Amino acid sequence: MKSSTITLLKILTWLACLSPAAWLAFGAFTNNLGPDPTATITFTTGLTTLRLLTISLAITPLRRLVPQLSWLIKFRRLLGLFAFFYASMHLMTWIALYTGFDTNAMAADIVKRRYITMGMAAWLLLLPLAATSTNWAIRKMGGKRWNRLHKLVYIAIVCGVIHYWWQVKTGVLTPLTITVVVAVLLLARPVLTWVQRRKVRAVVA
C-alpha cells in the first residue's frame, strides 16, 4: 500500500470518526437532538465507543486471514484513541447531565446501579491503554509488556457489552448484534491460532 493512499485513508478515518461528534454538536447548536437530548448524546457516544472498539478488534483477525491487509495495523491506534474519546464524552455526559457534577450522586450511582459500575470498569480499563498509546510509551515499556497491557482491551469490550445489556429493559434485544460480532471476533483469535498450528504441524510431519 502506497504511503499517499495510507494518508488519504487516514484522513477519511479521521472524518468518519469525528462525524458522530460533529453530528451531536450540530444537533446541539440547532436544537435538534430530539425530545431527550441527554439520551441522544448518551446513545450516540456509547454506541460509537462500542463500534470503534469492535472495528479495532477486527483488525488482527482480518490481517491473519488476509495477509494483504496487514497495513490495517496502521489504523488500530487511531480507532482505539477515538473509542476512548467517545467513552470519555459518554462518561462526561453522565457526570454533567445525569449527576450534575454531584460527587455524592456519582458515588451512589456507581454503587447502586450495576450497569454504571460495569461502564465505569470499562472506562477505567481503557484509560491506561490510551495513556500508553504513544511511541514513547511503547519504547519505554518494551513491546512485550506493552502488548500484555493492551490485552485489557478484550476485558474492556466485554465490560462494555455487559454494561449495554444491563441498561436496556428486560426483553429488549438491541445489544444482540454487537454482542454476536464481538463474540465472533474474540473467538476468531484462538481459532485462527489453532488452525495455524495444525497447518505448521502438518507441514513438519
Compute the least distance from the CB of residue 158 to ligand HEM, in Å: 10
**Total Cβ atoms within 10 A of residue 176:** 11
164: its cell numbers: 449495554
74 or 99: whose CB is closer to ligand HEM? 99
| Residue 63: half-sphere exposure toward Cβ, Cα within 13 Å | 13
6 or 92: whose CB is closer to ligand HEM? 92
Interacting residue ranges for ligand HEM, rule: CB under 6 A: 39, 42-43, 46-47, 49-50, 87, 90-91, 94, 98, 116, 119-120, 122-123, 126, 156, 160, 163-164, 167
Asked if residue 57 lies in contact with residue 182, where contact means CB atoms within 8 angstroms, the answer is yes
60 or 109: whose CB is closer to ligand HEM? 109
Compute the least distance from the CB of residue 70 to ligand HEM, in Å: 27
Compute the least distance from the CB of residue 83 to ligand HEM, in Å: 7
Compute the least distance from the CB of residue 157 to ligand HEM, in Å: 8
Cα Dmax for the chain: 68
59 or 91: whose CB is closer to ligand HEM? 91
28 or 66: whose CB is closer to ligand HEM? 28
Tabulate helix, strand, coil % of the chain (nearest 5): 85, 0, 15
Among residues 122, 112, 134, which one has the least CA distance to residue 87? 122
Compute the least distance from the CB of residue 43 to ligand HEM, in Å: 4
Asked if residue 59 lies in contact with residue 66, where contact means CB atoms within 8 angstroms, the answer is no
- The DSSP H or E segment spanning 83 is helix 76-93
Asked if residue 54 lies in contact with residue 185, where contact means CB atoms within 8 angstroms, the answer is yes
Compute the least distance from the CB of residue 45 to ligand HEM, in Å: 8
44 or 59: whose CB is closer to ligand HEM? 44
- What is the chain's length? 205
